[in-house]
């Protein structure tokens, strides 16, 4: 009886550990429509769901404020592009995994497929535009891209102000590059000054 009891207890503990270690492959879509895949535990998935719920609560007001500012600026010739900026979303892809390694493999497969699809779309778009765009068309497209980027930045900033934290986005933090470069230049200048002092000392 004791052996059976201990065996039952061990099985219950093992089942509990298995449940605690279950992970999911999730797809995250940022406010620009860019997607990424992550492997998350139940706790991590619940946490990002909570974040997104908070972001959705402030999105409408932030977008409305940004549109007012855009419309008030007479230099803006294009309509506000806020309707192309959507709140972040997250969803599970397929069933949960009890083995994180298998989940990582599934994530890698999804990333590869997404990259291939994106490359195909870029090639199709490139073929359509090849030799057909005038300088005026290019200038108009650049203006649309800038208007879109400005709308994204304006809405994101207002949402961040209301939330007291930045809204995560997928991709590179382009704004950080100049700061790193400037720091590197400062370090180079300091090194040059040290070298000059050493040379002067000799």
> Is 153 inside any structural domain?
yes
pLDDT at site 7: 58
Which residues have C-beta within 8 Å of that of residue 19, sequence separation ≥ 6? none
Q: How far apart are the first and last CA of the chain?
A: 89
Among the ranges given (19-33, 47-61, 186-200), the one the predictor scored with the smallest mean pLDDT? 186-200
pLDDT at site 1: 46
Reported as a single tens digit per residue, the pLDDT across 69-87 is: 999 999 999 999 999 999 9
pLDDT at site 181: 43
DSSP string, 43-76: HHHHHHHHHHHHHHHHHHHHHHHHHHHHHH-TT-
> Is 200 inside any structural domain?
no
Strand partners, 26: 38, 92
Residue 131 has pLDDT above 50, yes or no: yes
> Is 56 inside any structural domain?
yes
> Is 58 inside any structural domain?
yes
> Among 141, 154, 137, which Cα is nearest to 73's?
154
Q: Whole domain around residue 107: which residue ranges?
A: 21-169
Q: In the structure, how many helices (H) and strands (E) does the chain have?
A: 5, 3
pLDDT at site 183: 46
pLDDT at site 92: 97
pTM for the model: 0.70
> Is 16 inside any structural domain?
no
Q: How many domains does the chain have?
A: 1
177 vs 12 pLDDT, higher one: 12
Beta-carbon-side half-sphere exposure of residue 109 (alpha carbons within 13 Å): 9
Residue 5 has pLDDT above 70, yes or no: no
Q: Scanning the structure block, which residue is given the tokens 């102000």? A: 161
d(CA 164, CA 2) in angstroms, rounded, equals 56
> Is 77 inside any structural domain?
yes
What number is the average pLDDT over the span 33-40?
A: 95
Largest CA distance in the chain: 89
Give the pair of three-digit tokens for residue 162.
Answer: 């209301």
Give the pair of three-digit tokens for residue 169.
Answer: 């986005």
> Is 129 inside any structural domain?
yes
| Strand ranges, E, within the chain | 23-29, 35-41, 89-92
Q: Scanning the structure block, which residue is given the tokens 């992550």? A: 38
Reported as a single tens digit per residue, the pLDDT across 132-191 is: 678 888 889 999 999 999 999 999 999 999 999 999 998 743 333 333 444 444 444 444
* Sign of the torsion angle spanned by Cα atoms 171, 123, 92, 97: negative
Residue 110 has pLDDT above 70, yes or no: yes
Q: Classify strands 23-29 and 89-92 as parallel, antiparallel or unpaired.
A: antiparallel
> Is 42 inside any structural domain?
yes
What number is the average pLDDT over the span 99-115?
A: 95
């Amino acid at each position: 009886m004791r052996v059976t009891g201990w065996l039952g207890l061990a099985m219950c503990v093992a089942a509990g550990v298995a449940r605690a270690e279950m992970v999911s492959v999730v797809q995250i879509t940022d406010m620009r429509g860019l997607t990424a895949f992550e492997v998350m535990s139940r706790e991590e998935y619940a946490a990002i769901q909570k974040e997104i719920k908070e972001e959705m609560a402030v999105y409408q007001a932030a977008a409305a404020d940004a549109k007012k500012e855009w419309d008030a600026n007479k230099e803006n010739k294009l309509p506000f592009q806020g309707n192309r900026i959507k709140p972040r979303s997250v969803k599970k892809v397929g069933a949960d995994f009890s083995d994180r390694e298998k989940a990582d493999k599934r994530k890698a497969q999804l990333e590869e497929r997404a990259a291939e699809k994106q490359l195909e779309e870029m090639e199709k778009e490139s073929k359509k535009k090849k030799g057909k765009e005038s300088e005026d068309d290019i200038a108009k497209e650049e203006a649309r891209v800038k208007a879109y980027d400005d709308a994204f930045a304006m809405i994101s900033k207002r949402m961040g102000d209301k939330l007291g934290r930045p809204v995560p986005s997928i991709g590179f933090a382009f704004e950080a590059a100049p700061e790193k470069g400037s720091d590197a230049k400062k370090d180079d200048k300091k090194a040059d000054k040290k070298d000059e002092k050493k040379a002067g000392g000799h």
